[in-house]
Amino acid sequence: MHPTFVEIDLQAIRQNILNIRQKVQPAEVMAVVKADAYGHGAVPVARAALEAGATRLAVAHVTEGAVLRQAGITAPIQLLGGFFPQQLEAIQQYQLECTLCNLENLAPLQAFAQKNNTNLPVHVKFDTGMHRVGFAWQQADAVFAELSKSTGLQFIGLMTHLASSDACDKAYANEQLARFHSVVSKAKQAGLHIPYIHAANSGAIMDLPEAHFNLVRAGIAMYGYYPSTETSESVPLQPALTWRSRLLQVKNIQAGDAVSYNGIWRADRETCIGTVAVGYADGYNRQLSNRIHAVVNGRRVPVVGRVCMDMILLDLGPDAQEKAGDVVTLLGSDGTASVPMHQFCQALDTIPYEVTCMISKRVERKYVG
């Protein structure tokens, strides 16, 4: 067993979903569990979210949807990341709802549906300003004219994605929403009845109630983090993940001694160095060298020297009482001391999404709650 592990509090997931539901009601909540639930574990997180009242799930790739189906999960699952025609057999096999982003994929969809005598559930995505995937919002009339002639497809969702809902300045998000409202109106004018209208990601859940429509997509908020420092905290959230490891060894070093590769840190006094069983192979980024703290026995101590592939070093201080086997908290809380996510992100110049996703598969996931 690898000594590095993350604890996932499933009750925190449930409570976050309940709080999000209260914020957006009567809209439904789609729980986004792509990327193995942002590193938290897709199957247990999906189950917890559904138990708390989420009605739908979302993934990025067919294989992610397959994992959920093979685990016995029967809730609707949307494939957010588009699709290739060669994937349609698997999409049907695992009963996934695909996202149609361009007319090139319309003919293969119809042909597959007709060949298999089925109606394929489809969400239609419009690009209102993100400029990744989706139909151009300006072409809505032409797109809906084509879709209204299609056969074998069940249009169940109309969607867009907001590029800056987590920014303090909501001008661009509001511009996108205005464009999307025009798309929704044109769908109705074309005679298309599409049950679900969705645009809100976590930032919009917090701050843009006009984006909630009748379905929201809860991603990072479900895991207990706000999408940026610029969003409000209008929904109470509890981080679900705590990352821990253990001390491998504690040793004394003298003033002037250098530690780890290239000696980028030297002791300015006699001290105790604790070696921890975690490194960049576990997703503990090398850029954290000399930039972050960890918590041991309820006290914060600095990470010193280069982060190695499998180990990091802590300056425990000259009077350290720690010993091999003691638990080290890398991210999260231990008693009253903590390494909060915002400090982790600041040290890496990144966002919570990347931090949880970068924790590697060799780190054991333990579930509580």
Give the whole-angstrom CA distance, residue 286 versus residue 5: 18
Task: Show Cβ contacts of residue 14 under 8 Å, excluding neighbours closer than 6 positions.
Answer: 48, 49, 51, 52, 369
Task: Say whether pTM exceeds 0.85.
Answer: yes
Kindly report, residue by residue over 42-57, the tens digit of the pLDDT: 999 999 999 999 999 9
Specify the higher pLDDT residue, 296 or 2.
296
| Residue 59 pLDDT class (50, 70, 90 cuts) | very high
Given this model, what pLDDT does residue 172 score?
Answer: 97
Q: How confident is the model at residue 322 (pLDDT cuts 50, 70, 90)?
A: very high
pLDDT tens per residue across span 302-321: 999 999 999 999 999 999 99
What pLDDT does residue 85 have? 94
Compute the mean pLDDT over every residue in the chain, rounded to the nearest whole number.
Answer: 97
Q: Which domains does the chain have, with CATH numbers?
A: 10-223 (3.20.20.10), 241-368 (2.40.37.10)
Candidates 197, 199, 173, 202; CA nearest to 187 is: 197
Name the DSSP class of 288: G
Known active-site residue 34: yes
Q: What are phi and psi of 141, to 5 degrees?
A: -60, -50
| Other Cβ atoms closer than 10 A to 143 | 23
For residues 147 and 207, give the distance between their C-alpha atoms in angstroms, rounded to a whole number.
Answer: 33
pLDDT surpasses 90 at 356: yes
- Catalytic residue list contains 261: yes
| 203 within 8 A of 228, measured Cβ to Cβ | yes
Mean pLDDT for the stretch of residues 7-13: 99
Query: Per residue in 130-158, pLDDT tens?
Result: 999 999 999 999 999 999 999 999 999 99
Q: What is the DSSP annotation of 75-122?
A: S-EEETT---GGGHHHHHHTTEEEEE-SGGGHHHHHHHHHHTT--EEE
pLDDT (mean) for 212-237 = 97
Judged by phi (left if over 0) then psi (alpha if -120 to 50, else beta), residue 261 lies in: beta
CA dist 179 and 181 (Å) reads: 5
Which residue is catalytic, options 115, 188, 251, 261?
261
- Which pLDDT score, from 0 to 100, does residue 33 have? 99
